Amino acid sequence: MGLIGLMGLMGLGLMGCSSSDEAATPVAEATTVELQSYVTGYEEAAKATRAYEPVTRAWTQPTGYSLYSDAESPISVFFTQADASGDEEFFYKSSGHWRASKKPFEAGTYYLYGYVPHDLSITSAVSVLEGEGKTYADGAVLTLTNVPTVSKADICVVIAAKNGASANEDYSTEGLKRGNFEYVATGSNNFVYLLFDHLFSALRVRMRVQGDYNDLRTIKLKELRMQTSGAGDVPTKKKTQITVTLNKTTDGADPVGSVVFTPDPDSGNSDGAVVDWNDGITLTADYQEFQGHLMPFGVTKIKLISTYDVYDKKGNLIRQNCTATNTINISNLFSGQTETLRGRRYTINLTINPTYLHMLSEPDLNDPTVEIDN
């Protein structure tokens, strides 16, 4: 069938969205595809010290998006037809090339529903909307089971699809709108456009070392872990089921009718590394940014655990696996909110400080602490 181009337009952005730890399994004789993604930003949560201004999601033509060059996360897609759900398919990267598990792409009209990143540990299913005479042309209910509530990945749902190819091979995004899931396959030279929207919230951590301390010691950050809890400090469960109701719209209105999170009561408490490095990453006196993602429903507090090693300026390891825990109370730090919201990003600034500074060279310094900046 030749090459297939796939353009993913990420509604409200993927920042640092890495491939899942259990990515899609390569498929024999899969079709090679060309895949590019475009992204825009998250809605930013206003700090409590600033005036709160509600943020609305504005959509423009794709010319307002930027190329997401590092998007290597596999994408799960159901190629439904009006009266048939179809099988779960996916796009994935293998041996340096993007490939599609669906082979062949037969000519016809499909309605594309799915999520990113595809993950073998997540079970996905699609069904028609409730109501007499409803078909996949009207929308769908996407159900994701066994989803981790704390994740490195930015889990997003497909909210629009379109074949970009026209009769004159002009791969235009004209007509690509939220709520239009129709993809008309020609059987060859198909160029797929997708729009995505967030199912999770994001926590962006900007981290640095206090200047005087940075002159004396080198800090290597090894891991950031996240734990979440709700009202009464009840821990969030480790796994959840997500049920997304998607409705066809004709005017570009938001097709997401509802997003329901159902925690798995037997999955234990939420806890997971959102960033980690085997050898650590060297922090400096300037802020460096790291980002993780969390299931937003009912979360009022986020516990962030930092693990790092301390070296002197000659490269000698002084303290290994130091840990510091910061509790982020959403209502205290962010204006107008009592719990996290889907599609919202929460930014905090952290500074590693010593408990005291000894300006001579070799003394013991007490374990440094990590403090939330005002």
The whole-number pLDDT of residue 29 equals: 57
pLDDT digits (tens, 9 = 90+) for 89-140: 887 777 776 667 877 667 889 999 999 889 999 999 999 999 999 999 999 9
| Residue that wins the pLDDT comparison between 214 and 98 | 214
Residue 129 lies in a domain: no
- Based on the fold, state whether residues 216 and 231 are members of the same structural domain: yes
Measured in residues, the chain has a length of: 374
What's the rounded mean pLDDT across residues 76-81? 92
- Based on the fold, state whether residues 352 and 366 are members of the same structural domain: yes
The whole-number pLDDT of residue 53 equals: 44
- Based on the fold, state whether residues 290 and 364 are members of the same structural domain: yes
Please, which residues have CB within 8 angstroms of residue 192's CB and are 6 or more apart in sequence? 4, 5, 6, 7, 112, 161, 162, 163, 164, 183
pTM summary value? 0.84
- Based on the fold, state whether residues 312 and 280 are members of the same structural domain: yes
pLDDT class for 337, splitting at 50, 70, 90? confident
pLDDT digits (tens, 9 = 90+) for 274-315: 999 988 999 999 999 999 999 999 999 999 999 999 999 999
Percent of the chain with pLDDT over 90: 49
The whole-number pLDDT of residue 270 equals: 95
Residue 134 lies in a domain: no
What's the rounded mean pLDDT across residues 348-369? 64
| Residue that wins the pLDDT comparison between 145 and 86 | 145
- Based on the fold, state whether residues 191 and 275 are members of the same structural domain: no
- Based on the fold, state whether residues 116 and 90 are members of the same structural domain: yes
Q: Where are the alpha helices (DSSP H) in the chain?
A: 211-216, 330-333
pLDDT digits (tens, 9 = 90+) for 1-36: 333 344 444 433 333 333 344 444 555 556 554 444
CA distance 135 to 319: 61
- Based on the fold, state whether residues 115 and 229 are members of the same structural domain: no
- Based on the fold, state whether residues 161 and 106 are members of the same structural domain: yes
Closest to 118 measured CA to CA, from 70, 156, 86, 69: 156
- Based on the fold, state whether residues 311 and 216 are members of the same structural domain: yes
CA distance 322 to 113: 44
Residue range(s) defining the domain that contains residue 101: 4-123+147-198
Among residues 198, 226, 258, the one where a domain terminates is: 198
Residue 130 lies in a domain: no
Residue 171 lies in a domain: yes
| Count of domains forming the chain | 2
| Radius of gyration over every alpha carbon of the chain, rounded to an integer in angstroms | 23
Mean pLDDT of the chain: 80
What CATH code is carried by the domain that includes residue 328? 2.60.40
pLDDT digits (tens, 9 = 90+) for 310-330: 999 999 999 999 999 999 999
Inter-residue contact 107 to 189 (CB < 8 Å): no
- Based on the fold, state whether residues 279 and 194 are members of the same structural domain: no
